[in-house]
Amino acid sequence: MPVGVHVSTPVVSTPVVGKPGRRGRAGGAPRPGRVHVPGAASAAVRPLLEAPRRPARVLAAFPAGVYLEVRTEPEPTVIAVITGEAVRLPNAVLLAGALPRVEVGEDAWVGERGVDLGPLSLRVRRWWDPAPPLGRVDPAGLEGAAGVLAAPAGPAPGLAGNGAVAALAAACGRGWLLGMATAAEELVGLGPGLTPSGDDVLAGLLVTLRHLGTATGAGRAVWLAGWLAATVTFDARSRTTPLSAALLHCAARGEACPEVIAVLRGVAGRQPLGPALRRLRRLGHTSGADLAQGVAIGVDAVLDLGGHR
């Protein structure tokens, strides 16, 4: 997911119902005979992984990734346990090995710098930053990048021609908070898949407003990002999928997958934009294109709000 990504049909089987920790000893302690594997994790999930162990359940399972929902109250908490073949989501734990076959509904344990899932006992050895700062960016260089982002190429966004997307873009350019919130309300959870297209557009926009707004000194863009984040995360748990809700919370903090960060670096002139944009647009069925659409709206907004057009 990218910040979000549409994926193929998961490996779904009859849910297994049992007591938390049934694959371990009392209190969820790992049992002997597990396969111990090191891993690296996003700093976005560090507080959860360093907390005391707590139960989780398998939401979806794929050959290259398993999504775990951890039972916490404040916000949707989903961790993606992935191999190197999967998109490195901002809420991911990357393991150095293969994933075991598990069933949807199975229990797992998360905490104390590790994840216990079926026969797998993963321990986090290092962390990465899903929201690396861009540094100072000259707004004068953004106009060319905006043209590249606007050029039609690759898969069409999932909501191409949607009125709510157009309304969101127009409201962002004017700095009209009410218009942004109204459009965002229509987009949360709109579309099929684990990460609906509307959520991906919003995620790309949130990350761009926060990073580019900070890098260019466009305080209005950062202010709007804060209010938009509050709008889309307020009731995301009840309006979209657990995974997508968790990724919206990540985007609200400026956290994204490396493909989105690479495009922002390209916009900022830190690396070639074209290749990074092509890699992003190839993600998922339309998720990459949806994220790129959100980034494009954000770049336009930063230019407009900063008075550079």
Residue 16 in domain: no
Cα-Cα-Cα-Cα dihedral sign, residues 41, 43, 45, 46: positive
Give residue 80's pLDDT.
Answer: 97
Residue 281 in domain: yes
Q: Are residues 204 and 271 in the same domain?
A: yes
State how far the alpha carbon of 268 is from the alpha carbons of 137, 172, 216, 264, 306, in Å: 6, 20, 9, 6, 15
pLDDT band at residue 11 under the 50/70/90 scheme = very low
Q: Are residues 189 and 297 in the same domain?
A: yes
**Which residue's structure tokens are 């049934």?**
22
| Among candidate residues 95, 128, 161, the one where a domain is terminated | 128
Q: Are residues 250 and 103 in the same domain?
A: no
For residue 15, pLDDT beyond 90: no
Q: What b-and-e string marks burial along 104-117, b requiring 16 or more CB atoms within 10 Å of the CB?
A: bbbbbbbbbebbbb
The residue-averaged pLDDT of 196-225 equals: 96
Compute the distance between CA of residue 23 and CA of residue 31 in angstroms, rounded to an integer: 8
The HSE-up count of residue 7 (CA atoms within 13 Å, CB side) is 24
Residue 19 in domain: no
Residue 158: closest CA among 114, 127, 189: 189
Residue range 191-206, pLDDT digits in tens:
988 899 999 999 999 9
∠ CA(283), CA(285), CA(290), 5° rounding? 70
Domain count, the chain: 2
The residue-averaged pLDDT of 155-174 equals: 94
Helices assigned H by DSSP within the chain = 46-49, 142-150, 163-174, 177-187, 197-216, 219-234, 236-239, 242-252, 258-267, 273-281, 287-305
Residue 53 in domain: yes
The residue-averaged pLDDT of 225-244 equals: 93
Residue 46 in domain: yes
Enter the tokens of residue 91: 């809420």
Q: Are residues 98 and 164 in the same domain?
A: no
Residue 113 in domain: yes
Q: Are residues 43 and 144 in the same domain?
A: no
Compute the distance between CA of residue 252 and CA of residue 236 in angstroms, rounded to an integer: 12
Q: Are residues 175 and 120 in the same domain?
A: no
What are the phi and psi torsion angles at 267 (to 5°)? -60, -40
Q: How far is CA 309 from the centre of its chain?
A: 30
Structural domain for 99, as ranges = 26-128
Query: Could you tell me the pTM of the whole model?
Result: 0.87
Average pLDDT of every residue of the chain: 88
Residue range 36-60, pLDDT digits in tens:
899 999 999 999 999 999 999 999 9
Non-local (6+) Cβ contacts of 288 within 8 A are: 2, 5, 154, 155, 259, 279, 280, 281, 282
The residue-averaged pLDDT of 164-181 equals: 96
Residue 10 in domain: no
Q: Are residues 258 and 173 in the same domain?
A: yes
Cα-Cα-Cα-Cα dihedral sign, residues 75, 240, 111, 42: negative
Residue bearing the bigger pLDDT, 101 or 297: 297
For 128, the enclosing helix (H) or strand (E) is strand 120-128
| Among candidate residues 94, 128, 162, the one where a domain is terminated | 128
pLDDT band at residue 307 under the 50/70/90 scheme = confident
Give residue 264's pLDDT.
Answer: 98
Q: Are residues 124 and 178 in the same domain?
A: no
Q: Are residues 74 and 214 in the same domain?
A: no
Give residue 141's pLDDT.
Answer: 86
Residue 15 in domain: no
Residue range 254-279, pLDDT digits in tens:
999 999 999 999 999 999 999 999 99
Q: Are residues 73 and 174 in the same domain?
A: no
Q: Are residues 77 and 162 in the same domain?
A: no
pLDDT band at residue 155 under the 50/70/90 scheme = confident
Q: Are residues 174 and 291 in the same domain?
A: yes
| Among candidate residues 128, 152, 183, the one where a domain is terminated | 128
% of the chain beyond a pLDDT of 90: 75
Give residue 8's pLDDT.
Answer: 37
Under 8 Å between Cβ of 54 and 72? yes
For the stretch 267-273, contacts whose Cβ atoms lie closer than 8 Å and that sit 24 or more positions apart, written own/partner, are 267/142, 267/145, 267/149, 267/212, 267/295, 267/299, 268/134, 268/135, 268/137, 268/141, 268/212, 268/215, 269/137, 269/138, 269/141, 269/145, 270/134, 270/135, 273/145, 273/148
Residue range 60-73, pLDDT digits in tens:
999 999 999 997 77
